[in-house]
Chain A
């Protein structure tokens, strides 16, 4: 594991940092700022690669002490079993505390209603917001990256939310130098995005460099899938396939991991990290474009969800 800053080849300056070292240092700085200024921070942890990366960076930021944060997962009830298993194993391995907000419980209690299209991604906002209020979390780390989506490209590292978790893009605080302003009123909280400046490729390169373990569904495997809206979805209790949709066995992997109803797999034979990185570098599609049905709903789908308090 090469954790020490390495001098990139071909650079004359002995004090240059590689781009991964720069991004790592920036993220660690952000974690420590939050630890220094907030009372009750929490990391949103889904078992997806971006939240796994966040946790890894947080562990490094405070070593040899444990991380001074708890974890929160919004379980849609349609999560991939491999990912939930990974989540629980990781929590136990590092002796962490995990809060789970369950969309299924909200539906069972009649507080949320299933959407006609079966996707539960937009339903996560209410359980997330109520968990934040209930536990009085004042800083909530999210794994959002600016390269993912055009509304996220306008997001701050420290993003102020009101008591309803709402985001107002017209009233964001200018963010200058490395001076993050986390002041907030009681009831408000700040969403913090430590990996804002990472691209999908950076995430994978760093995962490879650090030898970070991932849920196996990120690597090519055989799976029973069916096609909907141009994406390969996994058959399951969540409501697929419908009568006219036929399943088939394909060699696929997941580029992102979310709700099973709206996260598509991509055809792939990349079974190793190296192969995944090569595949991503050559891909002509963004990860959300390739795998997320919810972002295709409208041009401003992500902005609208974010305004309402989504991740």
Chain B
């Protein structure tokens, strides 16, 4: 894994992933080993950890101290907040959202999973699939994380026995698949002994699959963009009005989904005006085609009124606009969310006033049971909400587009982020039609 040339370094893609596991599943050990074995923990960091561990009277260096960056975390010996870690191999660069196992567990895992393309769920081979494993699977399914890895850890403590692994893998895969997780890879590991984390295990000949790192290096980082609904939320209007560029008018933004081409007919929402793409400037260079998640500036053939918060989409594939949003939410604030509450709703680059019309149900992640009409949601609750907005939104279902199907509810008084919302159905339909084509407004089915 030695890195030699610049060229090797630059030819890599980026994978964002999240880890989930309870305290004793060995998550810190797994993360520590991934970082250590990929040579991402450097000498001075190890020395600092060793010194801090000794000061605490611990015999071995506590690798959790690498990620527990805050004084309160180290003092209490717990992880409070999501930590982001970075490591690289010659094949890929990784951003790891390391989410704590217990405190504010749901809020943190939802945060970590929201930008993740892959989630690693850890279980202890001795305990198998437990309540918390099901919660982790449910969060990954809710957040539509495309790839899930089940790492069955501590295989050394069950004599590296295949039947133990096979039973856990089967139970988890069946459960996660029932929630609509599209791809599940189960890997038997021992994070402590190093089996199947970076190097293949010498103790499990019966396992022919990849190690955790091999899988992370090779899993596809993006799906087929041509199958996505193309979406471009306008962030900012660029108008230099200079002698050199007297008439330049470009709409700056990051392509949220799909592909855009010069010459394409597009609609601008919510106005519904139609025009064609005259040019695409990709950070200094004109291009004919651009795709998610590139930041570009789009120039249009007609001079129509467009500002921040508008959405540019293909004329024949534009989302319906709506003022009635039904969604699954994860409540992330300490103050509750109540029926009748006035909030701000932030969706892509648009923020509008809104009111919480109803909270039809709260969901228990352990067993996916529903509790009708809870009246309010408190921190770490998952529930369904119905929201009415003051202005129309060009909203997709979260299943169809994570970027344009997600939103925040914000307290207008103090700016607190209250709730993270995902428009449309909670989980992908099982054994049936994809929910992709569903539009939010009509989508009355809550299939949890």
Contacts and interface: CB of A to CB of B under 8 A. Distances in A.
Interface of A: 1, 3-5, 8-13, 15-26, 28-29, 32-33, 35-36, 60-66, 146-147, 149-154, 160, 169-170, 172-179, 181, 183-185, 196-197, 199, 201-202, 205, 208-209, 274, 277-278, 281-286, 289-290, 299-300, 303-304
Nearest to B347: A179
Contacts of A22: 13-14, 293
Contacts of A29: 235, 253-254, 295
A141 to B, nearest CB: 15
Given A17-B294, A153-B83, A277-B9, A33 B415 contact: no
Nearest to A289: B44
Interface in B59-109: 66-72, 74, 80-86, 88, 92-93, 95, 107-108
A205 to B, nearest CB: 6
B132 interface: no
Contact of B43 (A15, A36, A284): A284
Given A3-B284, A174-B417, A153 B6 contact: no
B414 A185 contact: yes
B52 A299 contact: yes
A225 B115 CA distance: 45
B416 interface: yes
25 contacts: A3-B284, A5-B282, A8-B11, A15-B291, A17-B14, A17-B294, A32-B253, A32-B254, A64-B242, A150-B68, A153-B84, A154-B69, A154-B70, A160-B415, A169-B70, A170-B72, A174-B417, A178-B254, A179-B346, A201-B9, A202-B93, A285-B44, A289-B44, A299-B48, A299-B74
A61 B295 contact: yes
B91 to A, nearest CB: 9
A284 B80 CA distance: 29
Contact of A284 (B42, B240, B282): B42
A288 B39 CA distance: 17
Interface stretch (B121-129, B220-228, B313-321, B365-373): B220-228
B225 A15 contact: yes
A303 B70 CA distance: 7
B295 A24 contact: yes
A281 B9 contact: yes
Contacts of B44: 285-286, 289-290
Contact of B410 (A18, A66, A160, A183): A183
Interface of B is mostly: mixed
A10 B11 contact: yes
A19 B13 contact: yes
B402 to A, nearest CB: 7
B196 to A, nearest CB: 24
Contacts of B13: 8, 11, 16-19, 22
Interface in B343-379: 344, 346, 348-349
B415 A178 contact: no
B229 to A, nearest CB: 15
Nearest to B66: A150
A299 B51 CA distance: 10
